Structure 1
């Protein structure tokens, strides 16, 4: 996770900044975004379905069981939660929220409208790094009013070598690379994430990209959520995640970014609500 201003927990999170998902303890108010020049959006990747938060990126997502009459869901990182980063082992469900999200146009140049959360359906930084909001509008209402469809959450485990795009609504920037492989355990400070996605080098994500959907460019489906990068080459410290193999071997890849898979999350959503009973693999409260 990134440092203050330069500490970018890939999101400029309330209570922390995870640059690309990097964790950094901070004041209980939202931190300012990193002072990078705003990059131009990619001309060949659509931003439709992505959102910008006050300090992170996110996306409007949908599972196969959802109908147009279901309340819509917005996905971002656990460390982007407005009340502060969940501690190790902490799981938050059904928490009231009034957070707003800017829904982006397909070219990423404008906000076509605003979505307002009613609840935090689920949030944790244990095993994964995710916050799922339910908003006041239905999928059908959003499609009718703004002409924007939700991104589909893949229900399949991603595959190494797959071409991906990390689409940041916060920066209106797209990073293109591939899935380099998977990490049994990714450790950062006191947090542990399991079966994480490792990017190939081209995806040099920065602060504010936390929560960006990781899209399989062939299927157009969301396969993971962007969350961290090793900034300084340190081992298992804040903003410097390390890989821990099944045999306990520790490896550090400075400058390499990571994401958390979302296929398990997809199995836990019925319509637009979280169901933590089996076969849902998510941590329980």
Structure 2
């Protein structure tokens, strides 16, 4: 997982390492309101993918994200990896845990920050089947926009193979450009297994600290995945050396290749008010075991 090298760098820079969420009391989310759908005439033209909406956190990257329909008064959400919350057990699911974690919101050009935003709650985190962490902020989407940024929209569609993508690292202030080479039936790394993972073409040489970076479809500027790992040493299925496993159980190792976890299955879970509803129709996130 591309988080480990950056943790060491973060310690040198006296940045707190990623740990289990702190224990500040969560802010009560506002009551759901009617979805906000911007008028077509007010939609700005697509711009080149930049650092708008991206954040840095201790040892990792992330982004402020929203579903296709939302209210400006909704608490904003930050998307990163589950392993950027902490290294969880393979089937562990964390839901609605208090957190006061802070994030640095980057300027669109990546040169400096717009300020700090803070979590109230880790609304969801897991490394089971995917590698996802979602925080609810004390700031609304309107307040994030007032800081000079905006949330990145999550695509509700499974991305196609061959699309041009950008991996935008808030930690390194770097954008990696490549294509989605294909999708992996099972991606296995150490104790963890992830499903239907996106494989990059070799141009995306991601590294430690890029964990949690949004993977953006260059044609639509929508988030289609979250960057989480890559095979560093050519080993098979070990930590920092994931292997691909097909339907028959055959393993394939691709040294130097990076991977991401798709996010389209998160969209149905986001039902407004900064909430994640794991029982919502179409929600593809794992539920806590009884």
- TM-score norm. by structure 2 comes to 0.84
Equivalent position of 2:72 in the other structure: 68
1:219–1:45 CA distance, 2 compared to 1 (3 A) = closer
- 1:93–1:120 Cα contact (<8 Å) kept: yes
Equivalent position of 2:81 in the other structure: 77
C-alpha displacement at 1:11, in angstroms? 5.3
Count matched residues. Answer: 250
Equivalent position of 1:284 in the other structure: 287
Give the distance between the partners of 1:184 and 1:10, measured in 2 at CA: 27
C-alpha displacement at 1:45, in angstroms? 3.7
Query: Mind listing any 5+ residue stretches in structure 2 that lack a counterpart?
Result: 9-15, 19-47
Larger relative strand fraction: 1
Residue pairs, 1:57-136, within 5 angstroms: 57-81=61-85, 84-136=86-138
C-alpha displacement at 1:164, in angstroms? 0.2
Equivalent position of 2:143 in the other structure: 141
- 2:49–2:221 Cα contact (<8 Å) kept: no
Equivalent position of 1:163 in the other structure: 164
Give the distance between the partners of 1:51 and 1:256, measured in 2 at CA: 24
CA RMSD of aligned residues (A): 1.4
Equivalent position of 2:22 in the other structure: none
1:238 correspondence with 2:225: no
Query: Mind listing any 5+ residue stretches in structure 1 that lack a counterpart?
Result: 3-7, 14-28, 32-43
The structure whose Rg is larger is 2
Give the distance between the partners of 2:223 and 2:6, measured in 1 at CA: 19
1:11–1:130 CA distance, 2 compared to 1 (3 A) = farther
Encode CA deviations 1:126-159: one digit per residue, 9 max, x unaligned: 1000000000010011112x12110000000010
Give the distance between the partners of 2:226 and 2:180, measured in 1 at CA: 12
Give the distance between the partners of 2:181 and 2:235, measured in 1 at CA: 21
Equivalent position of 1:12 in the other structure: 7
Q: Which stretch of the first structure deviates more once superposed, 263-272 or 201-210?
A: 263-272
Encode CA deviations 1:177-226: one digit per residue, 9 max, x unaligned: 00000001000000000000000000010000000000000000000000
Aligned residue for 1:58, secondary structure, equals strand
Equivalent position of 2:220 in the other structure: 219
Aligned residue for 2:143, secondary structure, equals helix
C-alpha displacement at 1:9, in angstroms? 3.9
